[in-house]
């Protein structure tokens, strides 16, 4: 099996740590990055020269370029770049502090932009490589009260990655968007700050805050997910999106079916907007929302 060099953001805990471990167990090398690289000491102690710990704040574009350069200088190449670093706070959009909303977006979208852009010249020159973007099932179906900034960023990551795939198609660069459901990480624990929730939003945002991080929502095993991602990336053909978790895949299929049904129901109206098409046409039956 081919040995690869990975660069993984947010390697100190959660999905990042599980994925780094899975890659190392597969015999690959890992540039493990974190804001505080001393948190990577256990990985270095266990896997030795297979790990290069690097300090990285993904919101700093210059530091992102330095991390990619460090990977190439140390290992001679980089094959797989994983944008995993991210976090979410819970707040209603109406009352969320704008500074916090923007700060989340800086990490969850602009961090992905910075690292992806830093990696592109290297992967283009190599004529090969894979960029793995961590989104979430919320980045596909959306609509979770309290996660306005996080889910908006994840939708942006998906759109950004689709454009990258089209632009770089001639260069041998592949893309995989990961869409996990609820997993047993500290994403909904120590990493999450629940803002003040007004009484008017208790039934929506407040309800999500109460169930976030419970055993019901965190059914996924991050170590299994890490192994699945490694196995997937090593395939000759990879999916564009990989949904992880039983609840997540059920949500994805239900959402896609609903989109197809809605587009089909309104197809005649959609067509009628073009020059040369019959107009006006009857709208679908106007039934009360369920």
H/E element, 183: none
pLDDT digits (tens, 9 = 90+) for 227-251: 999 999 999 999 999 999 999 999 9
Cross-strand bridge partners of residue 220 = 183
* pLDDT band for position 115 (cuts 50, 70, 90): very high
Residue 218 pLDDT greater than 70, yes or no: no
Burial environment of residue 88 by CB neighbours within 10 A (0 to 12, 13 to 18, 19 or more): buried
**Annotated catalytic sites, by residue?**
135, 150, 154
**pLDDT at position 213:** 59
Q: Which domains does the chain have, with CATH numbers?
A: 5-244 (3.40.50.720), 248-290 (no CATH)
Residue 44 pLDDT greater than 90, yes or no: yes
- pTM listed for this prediction: 0.94
Average pLDDT over residues 41-48: 96
Residue 184 pLDDT greater than 90, yes or no: no
**pLDDT at position 153:** 98
Average pLDDT across the chain, whole number: 94
**pLDDT at position 107:** 97
Average pLDDT over residues 200-218: 82
pLDDT digits (tens, 9 = 90+) for 6-39: 999 999 999 999 999 999 999 999 999 999 999 9
**pLDDT at position 187:** 64
pLDDT digits (tens, 9 = 90+) for 58-96: 999 999 999 999 999 999 999 999 999 999 999 999 999
Omega into 280 within 30° of 0, i.e. cis? yes
Residue 51 pLDDT greater than 90, yes or no: yes
Average pLDDT over residues 173-177: 98
**pLDDT at position 38:** 93
Q: Which of 76-90, 142-156, 201-215 has the lowest mean pLDDT?
A: 201-215
Collect contacts of 68-77 with beta carbons under 8 A, ≥24 apart.
68/7, 68/115, 68/118, 68/119, 68/122, 70/31, 71/5, 71/7, 71/31, 72/122, 74/31, 75/5, 75/29, 75/31, 76/5, 77/5, 77/122, 77/126
Q: In terms of pLDDT, which residue wins out, 145 or 184? A: 145
- The CA distance from 31 to 83, in Å, is 12
222-233 and 14-25 are packed helices; what angle lies between their axes, rounded to 10 degrees?
Answer: 50
DSSP 3-state assignment of 6?
strand
Residue 275 pLDDT greater than 90, yes or no: yes
**pLDDT at position 216:** 56
* pLDDT band for position 212 (cuts 50, 70, 90): confident
Residue 181 pLDDT greater than 90, yes or no: yes
């Amino acid at each position: 099996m081919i040995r690869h060099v990975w660069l993984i953001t947010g390697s100190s805990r959660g999905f990042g740590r599980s994925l780094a471990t899975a890659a190392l167990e597969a015999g690959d090398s890992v540039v493990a990055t974190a804001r505080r690289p001393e948190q990577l000491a256990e990985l270095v102690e266990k896997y030795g020269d297979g790990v290069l710990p690097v300090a990285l704040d993904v919101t700093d574009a210059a530091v992102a370029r330095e991390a990619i350069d460090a990977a190439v200088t140390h290992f001679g190449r980089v094959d797989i770049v994983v944008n995993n670093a991210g976090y979410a706070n819970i707040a209603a959009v109406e009352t969320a502090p704008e500074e916090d909303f923007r700060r989340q977006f800086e990490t969850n979208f602009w961090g992905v932009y910075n690292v992806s852009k830093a990696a592109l010249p290297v992967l283009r020159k190599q004529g090969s490589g894979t960029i793995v973007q961590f989104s979430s099932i919320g980045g596909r179906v959306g609509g979770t009260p309290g996660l306005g900034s996080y889910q908006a960023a994840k939708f942006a990551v998906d759109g950004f990655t689709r454009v990258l795939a089209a632009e770089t198609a001639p260069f041998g660069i592949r893309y995989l968007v990961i869409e996990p459901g609820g997993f047993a990480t500290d994403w909904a624990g120590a990493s999450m700050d629940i803002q003040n929730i007004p009484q008017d939003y208790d039934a929506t945002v407040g309800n999500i805050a109460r169930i976030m991080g419970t055993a019901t929502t965190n059914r996924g095993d991050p170590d299994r997910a890490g192994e699945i991602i490694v196995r997937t990336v090593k395939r000759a053909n990879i999916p564009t999106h990989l949904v992880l978790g039983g609840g997540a895949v059920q949500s994805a299929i239900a959402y896609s079916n609903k989109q197809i049904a809605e587009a089909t129901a309104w197809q005649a109206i959609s067509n009628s907007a073009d020059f040369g098409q019959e107009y006006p046409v009857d709208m679908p039956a106007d039934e009360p929302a369920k």
